[in-house]
């Protein structure tokens, strides 16, 4: 069951400690192999780069304010980890090939790793629009209701005002009836970057939808009762829908909170009490693990994010395995409930997209009821 598996996995702190140790050894090996290709004493400089990259990942959550060069360090750190992933993988392949070819291809592994990392970084500047349709008997024939979903923006060290400006322009060009944000607006729960938010406010206020803009918390956002979170939403003209419901003239909209293990999270059945069952019931959920409960309560549509579709290869396949093909990405219908999981509009920590896209999701509800 995806809920128990995901929660159990995230709570294993030992896993993260072991991972850091293994990554440290991988860095040393990668640096040594690169240094062996050149007749210059660059090993020390590579170790310094590795230390800065890994140190940032470990301590970034504890830094309260920006300092000069902070954004550059965040970018380099993320790109280094992407490069490390591909370099170690490529070294394993070429070392296996060396058994049969008796030829050192280490330089090809280096070139490949640099090239694919650059490609992945460039690809993050593209934001695609993905369209889905959902047909329902709870809307009259000919009625179309357009919802645009943003998810996992991860505003912070790397994703800034310029990126959000492009997102807003693309969203408004779709002329949505309603805009929803399914969590992880921010990259850090401590909102370290809050003093830089004022330009973001002005951009998000430009989002245009007759029925409004609604948001829920993700696991990277502050607590829903945080004064900083509430102030951000208010200044951005975004309605907080955590543990709440909203009934428009066309649909019921219900917002869940954070991950499925969130301690103050209300049960979906309780949130559905005030719904008008003659209208479609649409659930906003950050974690696709919540799809199971939506299906059990016979919701019409549930919209999720969180998985990033793995963000970059090979984690795309690991994510698919972990969540299952019906939960990690895309549109699926099961037990009468339609679920849509976005790959995310932004990206987290590792600033590359390989085998996935940054996406804005357009969902068109089409009526089938003959009045």
pLDDT bin (cut points 50, 70, 90) of residue 38 is confident
3-state SS record for 314-327: CHHHHHHHHHCCCC
| pLDDT value, residue 4 | 45
| pLDDT value, residue 326 | 87
Q: Residue 27: which of 50, 48, 55 has the closest Cα? A: 50
| pLDDT value, residue 150 | 98
* Mean pLDDT within 326-352: 95
| pLDDT value, residue 10 | 47
To the nearest whole number, what is the mean pLDDT of the chain? 89
Domain architecture of the chain: domains with CATH: 2-123 (no CATH), 127-369 (3.60.21.10)
Percent of the chain topping pLDDT 70: 92
pLDDT bin (cut points 50, 70, 90) of residue 190 is low
Greatest distance between any 2 Cα atoms in the chain: 80
pLDDT bin (cut points 50, 70, 90) of residue 192 is low
| pLDDT value, residue 110 | 96
| pLDDT value, residue 64 | 59
Q: Tens of pLDDT along 253-310? A: 999 987 777 777 888 999 999 899 999 999 999 999 999 999 999 999 999 999 999 9
| Distance (Å) of CA 353 to CA 63, 201, 288, 358 | 26, 26, 21, 8
Q: Which of 169-183, 246-260, 301-315 has the lowest mean pLDDT?
A: 246-260
On whether the pTM is more than 0.85, the answer is yes
| pLDDT value, residue 282 | 98
Q: Tens of pLDDT along 39-96? A: 778 888 899 999 988 888 877 776 655 666 778 888 999 999 999 999 999 999 999 9
Find which of 186-190, 301-305, 324-328 is predicted with most confidence, using mean pLDDT: 301-305
More confident residue, 213 or 158: 213
């Amino acid at each position: 069951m995806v809920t128990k598996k995901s929660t159990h996995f995230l709570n294993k702190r030992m896993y993260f400690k072991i991972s850091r140790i293994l990554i440290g050894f991988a860095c040393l090996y990668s640096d040594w192999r690169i240094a062996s290709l050149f007749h210059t004493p660059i090993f020390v400089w590579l170790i310094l780069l590795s230390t800065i990259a890994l140190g940032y990942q470990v301590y970034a959550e504890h830094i309260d304010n920006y300092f000069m060069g902070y954004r550059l360090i965040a970018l380099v750190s993320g790109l280094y980890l992407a490069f490390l992933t591909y370099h170690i993988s490529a070294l394993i392949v070429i070392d296996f090939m060396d058994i049969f070819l008796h030829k050192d291809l280490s330089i090809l592994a280096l070139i490949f790793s640099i090239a694919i990392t650059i490609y992945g970084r460039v690809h993050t500047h593209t934001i695609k629009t993905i369209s889905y349709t959902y047909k329902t008997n709870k809307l009259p024939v000919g009625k179309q209701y357009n919802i645009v979903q943003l998810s996992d923006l991860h505003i912070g060290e790397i994703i800034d005002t310029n990126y959000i400006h492009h997102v807003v322009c693309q969203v408004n060009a779709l002329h949505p009836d309603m805009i929803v944000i399914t969590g992880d607006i921010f990259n850090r729960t401590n909102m370290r970057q809050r003093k830089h938010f004022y330009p973001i406010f002005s951009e998000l206020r430009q989002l245009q939808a007759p029925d409004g803009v609604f948001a829920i918390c993700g696991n990277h956002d502050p607590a829903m009762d945080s004064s900083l979170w509430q102030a951000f939403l208010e200044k951005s003209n975004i309605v907080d829908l955590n543990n709440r419901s909203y009934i428009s003239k066309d649909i019921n909209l219900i917002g869940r909170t954070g991950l499925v293990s969130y301690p103050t999270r209300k049960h979906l059945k309780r949130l559905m009490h005030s719904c008008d069952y003659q209208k479609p019931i649409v659930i906003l959920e950050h974690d696709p693990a919540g799809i199971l409960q939506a299906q059990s309560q016979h919701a019409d549509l549930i919209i999720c994010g969180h998985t990033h579709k793995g963000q970059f290869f090979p984690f795309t396949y690991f994510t698919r395995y972990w969540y299952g093909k019906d939960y990690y990405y895309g549109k699926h219908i099961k037990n009468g409930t339609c679920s849509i999981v976005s790959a995310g509009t932004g990206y987290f920590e590792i600033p590359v997209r390989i085998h996935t896209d940054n996406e804005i999701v357009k969902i068109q509800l089409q009526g089938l009821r003959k009045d």
